[in-house]
Amino acid sequence: MDDICLWCRMMRKISILLVPTIPALISFALFMQFFQAKPALAEQESSMSLDDFEAAPKGWEYIGGWEFPGAEGSLEWDLAAAHKGKGSLRLDADFSKGGAYVGIWKVLPDFKGQYLKEISLWIKSRGVVNIGVRILDDTDQCHQKKRIPLAKTDKWQKIVLRVRDLVGEESWGGANDAKWHGPAKAFGLNIGRDSVAAGSKGALWLDDASCVLSSGPGGIPTVLQCRLSQSSCRPGYGTYLTYRWDAVPMGRDLTVFVHFRGRDGQMAFQNDHAPPVATAVWSGRVEYEKTIVVPTTTPEGEYDIMLGLYDPKHGGGRQSLNVGDGVTAGKNDPTAYRIGVLKVDAKAPVPRLPAPTLNLKGYHLTFDEDFTEPLSVSAWGPGTRWIAHTPYAGDFGDARFADPEEGFPFTVTDGILRIEARKDGERWRAGLLSSVDSKGNGFAQKYGYFEMRAKFPKGPGTWPAFWLLGVTQLKDKSVTQIEIDVVEHYGVHPNALCTNVHLWYPDRRHWGDGRPFLVTGMTDDFHNYGVMVDSEFITFYYDGVELRRVKTPPEAKVPLYLLVDLALGGGWPIDKTPNPSYMYVDYIRAHSK
């Protein structure tokens, strides 16, 4: 459920980066076909030629080190020198006018589920005493190792570049954690200014480039029995499940599949996810908690919790695992492992929250929309407290956000705002409020406590939310956008309160940290949904009860503006959504010290 919420939110907010597309839902039949058991991955090695330079080279790119102007060089097919055969690839470097390096770059082929372990090259040098190597991993993180020595000879020498030896010195981009996340995407060789033995010029010849591939992992982890906050739950509710591993680095990032199977062996629901520590680098005891939300239509009974690892990016192959005490492999699927049992029981206890802890002592009210006056709203402003669209002009979901008109989509009665979603003919329309306009004019605040008191609609397909965005990005598209989802509520899961923190990068990369919580009554009565943002933490609250806190990223240390909406869809069908559907809001407030 954690990753389902995150995926839905990604679909909803991709328009922040002005990409107005929403991916279509994958059909259940295709989904099940993809998750049919694939052969387990076993350690097998093979070799593959990258280029013998007997024909004109393809896919080798000259890199001029242009960020450090002055270096000159060239890359050419040389038929006058070869380790074997008739040709080689020659790289010339000239630093007489300055510069830092020149190099070669090659995008690696699709290894079709295999993983690069090492690259072998035959090299001949003139005036070059060492080389630098760069290699790009699956997250687009570039790893660099400098000054790999060459033998002092004018003859051909074999250089073996092991991936594990190239990681840890320098890295940038992608995961940016100085750790390897295979498989490899590309690699390059550099001649640096300090690589030239004497003078300012040097040359390298490359021939017979090959690589060693592995179809198996760097190590095999052990999966342990899970822990459940409660071993039985009602349909429509759920439990908190702690996954447990004795982990070893695997050299590549795999995904955890988790299927809840009834006694008939059929999957009833699932909790697939990426572990919080990437499998490429995880090590030692790894434990983490996920929220399991049981669909309202799930029949009562016992469900085996079947878990495994698979590689969705490269063919879906599954990983064989070691097992701890009490864990068993599936009878019909040896790559799925039974880590526990969850009982679905209509008489199971309802999850309870601890006592409220919210303390606003020392804070004062800075924004108070209590709907005791007519709603100040226009389509795009200026001159109104709210506008009825996202200020970056990015609608989302399966209902168009409507310009305000008499009685729709906003109505204020007795101090309560009603936001309506309605289908006229074949088209749904709904409502959204933003506290700033497209120029960033309006209410925004750095740090403080932000809260909405609301009652959500019943029925599948509804998708109300209260969320915050950084106002800075409206004026400067080069900055990373922060998004804090105080609450998202998917009508298909009436008792799941979803919280999220997102970072939307200018280059369209995305990072998200989502977590749902099991609460009751969100569609039956009014409740308070709040978030405290300070220089250290972002802390989420429900009726004054702290749900969780995450460290405040630098991108959140900016003025934040408010958005409230009733959207539809979010990745769920809307064919059974009640028409009309209503969201009720008692107040929207902000506090500051």
Note the pLDDT of residue 43.
59
Answer yes or no: are the C-beta atoms of 286 and 245 closer than 8 Å: yes
d(CA 398, CA 410): 18
Query: Whose CA is closest to 546, among 585, 590, 515?
Result: 515
Confidence (pTM) = 0.79
In degrees, rounded to 5, the angle at the alpha carbon of residue 89 between the alpha carbons of residues 85 and 95 is 150
Q: Read off the tokens for 173.
A: 């981009």
d(CA 389, CA 432): 6
Dihedral sign, Cα of residue 400, residue 401, residue 405, residue 409: positive
CATH 2.60.120.260 matches 45-214:
yes
d(CA 22, CA 571): 9
d(CA 523, CA 578): 13
d(CA 175, CA 185): 14
Note the pLDDT of residue 216.
61
Query: Whose CA is closest to 36, among 339, 262, 318?
Result: 318
Answer yes or no: are the C-beta atoms of 177 and 208 closer than 8 Å: no
Per-residue HEC secondary structure of 133-197 comes to EEEECCCCCEEEEEEEECCCCCCCEEEEEEHHHHCCCEEECCCCCCCCCECCCEEEEEEEHHHEC
400 pairs with which residues across the strands? Answer: 429
418-460: pLDDT as tens digits: 999 999 999 999 999 999 999 999 999 999 999 999 999 999 9
d(CA 221, CA 250): 8
Residues of the chain with pLDDT under 50: 4, 7-8, 10-11, 13-41
Token pair 């040389």 is at which residue?
78
In degrees, rounded to 5, the angle at the alpha carbon of residue 344 between the alpha carbons of residues 570 and 354 is 75
435 pairs with which residues across the strands? Answer: none
d(CA 426, CA 398): 11
Query: Whose CA is closest to 370, among 587, 590, 117, 147?
Result: 587
Answer yes or no: are the C-beta atoms of 484 and 498 closer than 8 Å: no
Note the pLDDT of residue 198.
78
The 10 Å Cβ neighbour count of residue 330 is 18
User: One fold for both 45-214 and 353-592?
Assistant: yes
Q: Read off the tokens for 576.
A: 């059974």
Answer yes or no: are the C-beta atoms of 283 and 251 closer than 8 Å: no
Note the pLDDT of residue 1.
57
Token pair 């990258």 is at which residue?
50
Answer yes or no: are the C-beta atoms of 560 and 484 closer than 8 Å: yes
Query: Whose CA is closest to 217, among 162, 167, 244, 254?
Result: 254
In degrees, rounded to 5, the angle at the alpha carbon of residue 373 between the alpha carbons of residues 372 and 378 is 130
Q: Where are the domains of the chain?
A: 45-214, 218-344, 353-592
Answer yes or no: are the C-beta atoms of 330 and 223 closer than 8 Å: no
**CATH topology for the 218-344 domain:** Immunoglobulin-like (2.60.40)
CATH 3.30.1380.10 matches 353-592:
no
Q: Is residue 468 classed exposed, middle or buried when 0-12, 13-18 and 19+ CB atoms within 10 A define those classes?
A: buried
Query: Whose CA is closest to 173, among 137, 133, 132?
Result: 137
Answer yes or no: are the C-beta atoms of 165 and 119 closer than 8 Å: no
289-304: pLDDT as tens digits: 999 999 999 999 999 9
Answer yes or no: are the C-beta atoms of 437 and 443 closer than 8 Å: no
Q: Read off the tokens for 413.
A: 């009665």
Note the pLDDT of residue 41.
44
Q: Which helix (H) or strand (E) holds 97?
A: none
Amino acid at site 35: F
